[in-house]
């Protein structure tokens, strides 16, 4: 037995023994304390949980299956002294050495740090980070969050959003990882793995099909089960398989008539049985709607309060409406996850977050996340010898934009800009101190670099006219609680870009957006960079790319449609501009008349929709340019191993990384007319270098879900294999007979 594993609880046992001991205790007995058996770290988490459970009273068990209330989230509600100031708190069982659980929102960095005078690193949006297609980068992302949670005294994250981008105007897209189940599941799974490696319990959310904010509390998703399993639920399956998170948060919406937090199919049948998930299900905040139904259908913990899982649960057990074994199962799941994550054996000791390390990590992640969408006449990279540069818009003199809602991170020393737009709790965009102007100036020492706000389009065009290069920063502020009404950039930013492009032939647009936007001006400008919400290291990362210190390598994790009419749903279902309250915390999500959303497109959203409907996207899924060029050759398909080998050559003059994408089209029997992403490889290559790589395809993405046998089945026949640089550029084509 290691000493550390005994911890303070072992000490407690010694103390108890000493107090109960007769006046004279033999020395040997004092030296050999008997630690609680569940503190033995060599036992499995499940065994340790069972040993604790056997000691617990019913009241203690009930204490673990709900939170203590809204705490700091609703001013005026009580905050227990041990509550660390996060979104949730569950008191532990001190007498048994089970620590309190302090839960923090931490989708893109630890939320609400300022409340306790602390600092958190703002990372790029997770959608941005998904553009790196780099599992190591996702792992780093998670470890930054885990490290900072620990430093701030938390032991559980409630980040980990993996809802697929079925609805490109979804206000929370920036907290998720795109439209493809394999990419989103892999990136989120690795993020969570990195986080949990810091001895923090992780969570994956919002389970499931919570793909829009409009009416999120009342909408009922209608989607056939085969499509669910091959799309939204597959992303969860992959992420959960990679990371074995402590918890899964069920979502606000209904699915097929039942709320997600009391949905037998989603929770019991799929999550716990089919995925073999061993952790616990906690409700989204106020997403619990019943006691017995929710408990029987798989919910393990109510958050943040105890309306249904406090006294009501105790009464249901007393009345035999709920077997006590179900309460034991809930508690077992919570305890085993605490042991598995290491939070019982190794309590967080408060320390100071290192903002420099955080900024450095955020910059590195962002460098891989930026996607170069257009580079006409090789306008980029910019030469350092430029004499004049006009920066325009989006507070590019001061900082970078962040996303709002429960994913909001507090900026050090407050909002660096004072945005004209927005009001209310989540309505006002928050800018972080990472100044593009400063970074660009430092890279073009001979240039006069000016900044003009977007407010005056004429002044912006005039500034552009007098400069060698104009860089227009445009943005789309997004937040939990509301969706974007359209794909268009808000306010007059389209007009701004058009006016600047008309004034300066060397116009470059930098997009700071939560998700995809339309760009009616796209072929009037020379360069377009999608930097997403770029995080605290954003300005350095984007300036590094603009001036060619870093070669862009990101690829879109989502399709950019040219116009709404091309989407499966030209309007966000249920969205009514007259019925929303922009600028309130709940915005469009406060619609209270229930409605159904029919996702009749099934799995065909994103690139699958554009491919099968033969529509031309503005920028396709998987697309992204580099300052060098790559060629693909020598495809070999190994059907037995479902492996694909090919050679990628850097045919340009600079080092760069290529993300080589592998898609499959299923045999005709599957009845599909689109391809599916089945694997990829990120390949760094120096100028002129060639590398042969092998990508083993993911069997899940090559299979169809059979509802009769409730299993994934690999169709027999001829698979088409397509390899290339995007979903629309696949120069290598082969077949695989299964």
- Residues at the site binding ligand BGC, with contacts judged by CB under 6 A: 87, 105, 158, 205, 284-285, 406
For the bound state, the minimum distance from the C-beta of residue 601 to ligand BGC, rounded and expressed in Å, comes to 25
Instruction: Please tell me what DSSP assigns to residue 274.
Output: I
> What is the C-alpha separation between 12 and 60, in angstroms, rounded?
19
> What is the C-alpha separation between 534 and 169, in angstroms, rounded?
19
CB nearer to ligand BGC: give 203 or 530.
203
CB nearer to ligand BGC: give 284 or 661.
284
CB nearer to ligand BGC: give 102 or 498.
102
CB nearer to ligand BGC: give 101 or 499.
101
Reading the block at residue 656, the tokens are 């760069």
Interaxial angle between packed helices 181-196 and 135-151, expressed in degrees from 0 to 180 and rounded to the nearest 10:
40
Q: E strands within 364-468?
A: 371-375, 388-392, 400-401, 431-432, 448-452
CB nearer to ligand BGC: give 87 or 484.
87
For the bound state, the minimum distance from the C-beta of residue 233 to ligand BGC, rounded and expressed in Å, comes to 18
3-class DSSP string for 340-366? HHCCCCCCCCCCCCCHHHHHHHHHHHH
CB nearer to ligand BGC: give 87 or 382.
87
For the bound state, the minimum distance from the C-beta of residue 93 to ligand BGC, rounded and expressed in Å, comes to 24
CB nearer to ligand BGC: give 262 or 345.
262
Q: Is the peptide bond before 604 cis (omega within 30 degrees of 0)?
A: no
Q: 10 Å Cβ neighbour count for 23?
A: 4
Reading the block at residue 508, the tokens are 């470059």
For the bound state, the minimum distance from the C-beta of residue 586 to ligand BGC, rounded and expressed in Å, comes to 9
CB nearer to ligand BGC: give 108 or 398.
108
Tokens 């007259």 -> residue: 578
Rg of the chain's alpha carbons, rounded to an integer? 26
List Cα–Cα distances, 490 to 125, 477, 485, 514, 568, in angstroms: 19, 8, 9, 12, 22
The burial class, CB within 10 Å (0-12 / 13-18 / 19+), for 476 is buried
Q: How far is CA 402 from the centre of its chain?
A: 14
CB nearer to ligand BGC: give 158 or 209.
158
For the bound state, the minimum distance from the C-beta of residue 284 to ligand BGC, rounded and expressed in Å, comes to 5
Contact 482, 212 (CB under 8 A): no
CB nearer to ligand BGC: give 66 or 205.
205
* DSSP β-ladder status, 258-259 and 254-255: antiparallel
For the bound state, the minimum distance from the C-beta of residue 581 to ligand BGC, rounded and expressed in Å, comes to 16
For the bound state, the minimum distance from the C-beta of residue 206 to ligand BGC, rounded and expressed in Å, comes to 6
For the bound state, the minimum distance from the C-beta of residue 479 to ligand BGC, rounded and expressed in Å, comes to 11
Closest CA to 392 of 310, 496, 278, 536: 496
> What is the C-alpha separation between 299 and 301, in angstroms, rounded?
6
Phi, psi dihedral angles at 71 (to 5 degrees): 50, -135
Beta bridge partners of 220: 254, 596
For the bound state, the minimum distance from the C-beta of residue 168 to ligand BGC, rounded and expressed in Å, comes to 19
For the bound state, the minimum distance from the C-beta of residue 631 to ligand BGC, rounded and expressed in Å, comes to 44
């Amino acid at each position: 037995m290691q000493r550390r594993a005994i911890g303070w609880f072992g000490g407690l046992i010694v103390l108890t023994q000493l107090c109960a001991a007769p006046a004279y205790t033999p020395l040997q007995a004092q030296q050999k304390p008997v630690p609680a058996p569940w503190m033995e770290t060599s036992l499995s988490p499940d065994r340790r949980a069972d040993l604790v459970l056997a000691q617990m009273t019913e009241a203690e068990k009930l204490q673990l299956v709900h939170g203590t209330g809204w705490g700091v989230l609703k001013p005026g509600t009580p905050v227990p002294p041990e509550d660390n100031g996060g979104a949730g708190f569950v008191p532990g069982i001190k007498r048994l050495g089970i620590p309190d659980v302090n839960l923090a929102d931490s989708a893109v960095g630890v939320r609400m740090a300022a409340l306790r005078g602390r600092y958190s690193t703002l990372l790029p949006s997770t959608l941005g980070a998904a553009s790196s297609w780099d599992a190591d980068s996702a792992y780093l992302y998670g470890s930054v969050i885990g490290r900072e949670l620990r430093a701030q005294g938390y032991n559980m994250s409630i980040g980990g959003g993996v809802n697929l981008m079925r609805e490109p105007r979804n206000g929370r897209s920036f907290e998720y990882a795109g439209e493809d189940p394999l990419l989103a599941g892999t990136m989120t799974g690795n993020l969570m793995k990195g986080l949990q490696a810091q001895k923090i319990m992780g969570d994956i959310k919002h389970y499931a099909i919570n793909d829009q904010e409009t009416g999120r509390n009342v909408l009922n998703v209608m989607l056939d089960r085969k499509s669910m399993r091959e799309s939204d639920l597959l992303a969860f399956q992959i992420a959960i398989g990679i990371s074995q998170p402590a918890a899964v948060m069920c979502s606000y919406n209904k699915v097929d008539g039942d709320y997600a937090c009391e949905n037998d199919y989603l929770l019991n049948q799929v999550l716990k049985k089919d995925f073999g998930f061993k952790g616990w299900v906690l409700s989204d905040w106020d997403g619990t709607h019943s006691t017995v139904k929710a408990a029987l259908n798989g919910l393990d913990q109510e958050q943040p309060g105890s309306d249904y899982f406090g006294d009501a649960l105790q009464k249901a057990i007393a009345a035999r409406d709920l077997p006590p074994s179900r309460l034991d199962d809930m508690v077992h799941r919570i305890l085993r996850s605490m042991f598995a994550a290491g939070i019982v054996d190794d309590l967080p000791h408060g320390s100071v977050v290192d903002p420099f390390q955080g900024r450095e990590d955020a910059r590195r992640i962002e460098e891989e996340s930026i996607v170069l969408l257009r580079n006409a006449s090789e306008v980029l990279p910019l030469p350092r010898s430029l004499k004049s540069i006009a920066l325009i818009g989006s507070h590019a003199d001061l900082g970078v934009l962040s996303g709002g809602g429960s994913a909001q991170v507090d900026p050090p020393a407050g909002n660096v800009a004072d945005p004209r737009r927005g009001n209310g709790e989540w309505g006002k965009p928050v800018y972080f101190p990472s100044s593009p102007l400063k970074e660009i100036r430092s890279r073009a020492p001979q240039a006069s670099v000016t900044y003009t706000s977007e407010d005056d389009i004429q002044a912006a065009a005039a500034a552009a006219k007098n400069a060698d290069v104009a860089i227009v920063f445009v943005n789309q502020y997004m937040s939990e609680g509301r969706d974007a009404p359209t794909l268009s950039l808000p306010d007059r930013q389209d007009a701004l870009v058009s006016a600047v492009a008309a004034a300066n032939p060397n116009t470059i647009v930098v997009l700071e957006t939560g998700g995809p936007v339309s760009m009616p001006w796209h072929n009037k400008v020379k360069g377009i960079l999608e930097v997403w919400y770029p995080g605290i290291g954003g300005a350095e990362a984007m300036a590094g790319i603009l001036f060619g210190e870093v070669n862009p390598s990101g690829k879109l994790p989502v399709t950019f449609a040219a116009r709404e009419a091309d989407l499966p749903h030209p309007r966000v279902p249920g969205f009514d501009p007259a019925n929303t309250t922009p600028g309130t915390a709940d915005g469009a999500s406060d619609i209270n008349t229930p409605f159904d959303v029919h996702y009749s497109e099934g799995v065909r959203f994103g690139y699958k929709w554009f491919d099968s409907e033969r529509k031309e996207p503005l920028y396709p899924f998987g697309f992204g340019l580099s300052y060098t060029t790559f060629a693909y050759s020598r495809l070999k398909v190994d059907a037995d191993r479902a492996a694909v080998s090919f050679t990628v050559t850097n045919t340009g003059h600079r080092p760069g990384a290529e993300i080589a994408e592998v898609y499959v089209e299923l045999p005709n029997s599957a009845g599909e007319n689109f391809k599916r992403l089945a694997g990829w490889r990120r390949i760094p290559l120096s100028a002129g270098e060639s590398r042969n790589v092998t990508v083993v395809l993911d069997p899940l993405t090559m299979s169809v879900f059979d509802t009769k046998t409730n299993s994934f089945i690999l169709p027999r026949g001829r698979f088409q294999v397509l390899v290339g640089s995007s979903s629309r550029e696949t120069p290598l084509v082969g077949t695989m007979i299964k």
